[in-house]
Amino acid sequence: MKTRFLLCSTVLLILFLTVIPITGITVEASENNPKKIEVVLKRIYLDGEVSEEYVEETVWSMEDFWSKYDKWQLVDMTSKELTFTQKVDDISPLLKTNGYFGITDQGVLTIFNGKPDKENIIQSFFQLDLKKLESKQQENLEKGIPIKSKDRYVKVLETYKSFTNLESLN
């Protein structure tokens, strides 16, 4: 971790302390002349959803800048933009507010944006053997099971994984 921090700090220090052309104007970063840079923050959630946030940062001190993003991984860098990613151990805000587990007409366990509807599919998982499901379980999936939390997301996936149609995997 320290090695990555030192390597990234060194690269950025060189980048910021050298003369960098920006739209035809040269800007030298220093204490009296801070560097403005775009920062892209990509959050990757358990359900595969990726959110992006764009922030314009004024960099006065490299040490302060890096400490602000020490929980992020630098994945791309240009003279105008830095892109960081972070894995989030939770489901996305979209699933918490409007995500529902359901099944498609083909019996595939699926997450929908809102109540199950073939037009609103977010993510599909695996084919279920509908003959193994209790009628109440199938009815719940047809109506839609609201997700609301990571625990509910994991529990539903674990519960229905045991009903996977093994023939569809071949």
CATH of the domain at 101: 3.30.70.1740
Q: Which helix (H) or strand (E) holds 86?
A: strand 81-88
Q: Is 49 helix (H, G, I), strand (E, B) or coil?
A: coil
The reply to whether 34 falls in a domain is yes
Among candidate residues 54, 88, 122, the one where a domain is terminated: 88
pLDDT of residue 165: 76
How many distinct structural domains can be found in the chain?
Answer: 2
What's the CA angle centered on 160, arms 157 and 166, to 5 degrees? 115
- pLDDT, tens digit (0-9, with 9 covering 90-100), for 35-93: 889 999 999 999 889 999 999 999 888 888 899 999 999 999 988 899 999 999 999 99
Among candidate residues 44, 60, 88, the one where a domain is terminated: 88
The reply to whether 27 falls in a domain is yes
Domain residues for 98?
93-165
Among candidate residues 49, 73, 88, the one where a domain is terminated: 88
- pLDDT, tens digit (0-9, with 9 covering 90-100), for 119-157: 888 888 999 988 888 889 989 999 999 999 999 999 999
Co-location of 51 and 84 in the same domain = yes
pLDDT of residue 62: 84
Q: Where are the beta strands (DSSP E) in the chain?
A: 20-22, 25-27, 35-45, 50-59, 73-77, 81-88, 99-103, 108-113, 121-127, 145-146
Which of these, 99, 165, 101, lies nearest to 129 by C-alpha position? 165
Co-location of 135 and 75 in the same domain = no
The reply to whether 170 falls in a domain is no
